[in-house]
Chains A and B, each alone.
Chain A
Amino acid sequence: MNEAAQHVMAVAKREWRAYFDSPVAYVFIIIFLMLAGFFTFSLAQFYEAGQADLSGFFQWHPWLYMILVPAVAMRLWAEERRSGTIELLFTVSVTPLQALLGKFIAAWLFMLLALVLTFTVPFTAIYLGSPDGGTIFSGYLGSGLLAGAYIAAGMFTSALTRNQVISFILAVVIGLFLILAGYPPVTDLLSRWAPMWLVDGVASFSFMPHYEALQRGVIDLRDLAYFASVIVFMLFATQVVLKNKVSR
């Protein structure tokens, strides 16, 4: 294994353990599953709708992630900076890029694990009817990518500050913007007074159109590229912040 990959792995392993060595992981997973179930079964009236369709399940994920992912991501850098361990991390031959990739991978995998644990929902759908397997897959794919994008954004705000609360709030605001920028009620409102190109421009930042396409079972390379570019951009921004602010 080459050296850079080894550094990334070591950091990822540490972060992964840090989740599970504390109650954070368990509390988070339980709350996530409970909320996901609550939204799906009571708000979206999964049973009553009578259709074996998972849109009632996936449609809530952007909102759930908006609140929960920042809670997973907020400590990633803020804690390192508060406790001073960043001084250790950045003097043992690890580059900021390697460290942030390691942390990103750990946090993303953690979210994916939580997501995988919702498997009972599609199983229920299969039990109730015969949903389209491809749609379930692309729905999960979209949700996984969405989680990655939120993690990357949360990691960016975490690098900005030593304070986890501030990091959390900033991440929620970014998440809210990325949801609402393309949310039809908001774009409709915006289009009443703003020129169309501006509305479209703002909307093109949004998760929603890309996420919804995947929910419908349409796997378009452009949507995948959108999520990838949000992630890469946020990771890059994090790296810039780290390089300029490590020295407190």
Chain B
Amino acid sequence: MIKAQNLIRDFGPRRAVDGVSFEVGKGTVLGFLGPNGAGKTTTIRMVSGFLPPSSGTVFVKGIDVAVDPVSAQKSIGYMPETTPLYEDMTVSGFLKFIAEVRGFSGAERNSRVDRAIERCFLGPVRNQGIDTLSKGYRQRTCLAQTLLHDPDILLLDEPTEGLDPNQKQVVREMIREMASERVVMLSTHVLEEVEAICTRAIIISGGKVVADDTPARLKTRSTKYNAVTLRAEGGGVAETLGKLPAVEKVQVLEDGRVVVFPKAGKSIAAEILATAQEKKWTVSDIKVDEGRLDDVFRQITATEDTKKKEAA
């Protein structure tokens, strides 16, 4: 439903987005990750039709967004990063305005507003002035605004930023539930969120896509993926394990535990267990690392940074 082809956006001499391409279909929750200033917001703005790309094209349901933003926006609900709202209105007044602009009037408008208020738990503040809302409620009001016209595509720029843990959970549930029939594209810095709801993750850094995969497969890129941490008593544990053919390196932690890193793509848990039995070690604790998205994120984006430093 969204197809971005080689998007480039320059701000003066600075290239904020540098050749981003991706394609997403129905049922996808796409997580957009990257360090600050990577170009996530800029990319999402280009998809939303707010910011024209310097070059490249975005198609939303086959419509070129730069050519016909108005039609494209009919299928898009967009929540900007800064959660801009009309401060002088009340929550329900604001939602009514957006509903009207979205083409609903009378009873239809009111029922859509009520439903959005209900879904985003805005009941307690529906008649409160937006200028007096807390950050979390502003966030939810802005989210509610995206749902009014039942769009096929949701673009959410850091949707759970500033929400309390309960609300984070609620919003994640909501996103997951809505995604089956739609496309949700969200940016976030919360990696657990990506694991929890995203079916696909794109990491961008310096305006370029540096990884594009499912969260599960991304995790396997971690050097810690399938690493085995164990506490074993016996002679020369570290040395023995270090000699196993599938082992990359062994690290002894301060508390005496041993971390065994496998060579890329290898799984070593079974072998380690067999060795332990053979050598009659007493193993009191053993754990296989699943890899952490944090580590992958850091691995990928840090190398980008160092590359930049080298270039400079």
- Which of A89-97, A115-123, A169-177, A202-210 is near enough to bind chain B? A89-97
How far is A171 from B52 in the complex, measured between Cα atoms in Å? Answer: 29
Q: Smallest CB-CB separation from A84: which chain B residue?
A: B84
Docked complex: A91-112 residues within 8 A CB-CB of B? 91-95
What 0/1 readout, one digit per residue, does chain B (35-74) give for beta carbons within 8 Å of chain A?
Answer: 0000000000100111110000000000000000111011
List, in ascending order, chain B residues with CB within 8 A of A92's CB: 73, 78, 98, 101-102
Q: Smallest CB-CB separation from B157: which chain A residue?
A: A87
| B294 within 8 Å of A (CB atoms) | no
| A130 within 8 Å of B (CB atoms) | no
For residue B112, give the distance in angstroms from its CB to the closest CB of chain A.
Answer: 13
A interface secondary structure, majority = helix
Docked complex: B209-263 residues within 8 A CB-CB of A? none
**A94 & B101 in contact (Cβ 8 Å cutoff):** yes
**A87 & B74 in contact (Cβ 8 Å cutoff):** no
**B86 & A87 in contact (Cβ 8 Å cutoff):** no
**A93 & B70 in contact (Cβ 8 Å cutoff):** yes
How far is A95 from B73 in the complex, measured between Cα atoms in Å? Answer: 11
**B73 & A93 in contact (Cβ 8 Å cutoff):** yes
What 0/1 readout, one digit per residue, does chain A (1-33) give for beta carbons within 8 Å of chain B?
Answer: 001001101110110011001100000000000
| B85 within 8 Å of A (CB atoms) | yes
List, in ascending order, chain B residues with CB within 8 A of A21's CB: 88-89
How far is A14 from B97 in the complex, measured between Cα atoms in Å? Answer: 7
| A213 within 8 Å of B (CB atoms) | no
Interface centre among B50, B89, B93, B102 (most CB of A within 10 A): B50
**A93 & B50 in contact (Cβ 8 Å cutoff):** no
Select B103's contact among A6, A14, A84, A85, beta carbons within 8 Å: A6
Select A91's contact among B78, B85, B103, beta carbons within 8 Å: B78
List, in ascending order, chain B residues with CB within 8 A of A88's CB: 78, 80, 84-85, 98, 145
Q: Smallest CB-CB separation from B148: which chain A residue?
A: A92
For residue A89, give the distance in angstroms from its CB to the closest CB of chain B.
Answer: 8
Report the contact-size class of chain A (Cβ under 8 Å from the partner): 20 to 34
**A95 & B70 in contact (Cβ 8 Å cutoff):** yes
How far is A240 from B103 in the complex, measured between Cα atoms in Å? Answer: 25
| B87 within 8 Å of A (CB atoms) | yes
List, in ascending order, chain B residues with CB within 8 A of A18's CB: 86, 88-89
| B105 within 8 Å of A (CB atoms) | yes
**B101 & A7 in contact (Cβ 8 Å cutoff):** yes
List, in ascending order, chain B residues with CB within 8 A of A17's CB: 89, 93
| B166 within 8 Å of A (CB atoms) | no
What 0/1 readout, one digit per residue, does chain A (75-91) give for beta carbons within 8 Å of chain B?
Answer: 00000000111111011
**B70 & A87 in contact (Cβ 8 Å cutoff):** no
Q: Smallest CB-CB separation from A87: which chain B residue?
A: B80
For residue A77, give the distance in angstroms from its CB to the closest CB of chain B.
Answer: 14
Please list the residues of chain B having a beta carbon within 8 angstroms of any beta carbon in chain A.
45, 48-52, 69-71, 73-74, 76, 78, 80, 82, 84-89, 93, 97-98, 100-103, 105, 145
5 A-B pairs within 8 Å (CB atoms) are namely A84-B84, A90-B69, A93-B74, A94-B70, A94-B101
Please list the residues of chain A having a beta carbon within 8 angstroms of any beta carbon in chain B.
3, 6-7, 9-11, 13-14, 17-18, 21-22, 83-88, 90-95, 246-247
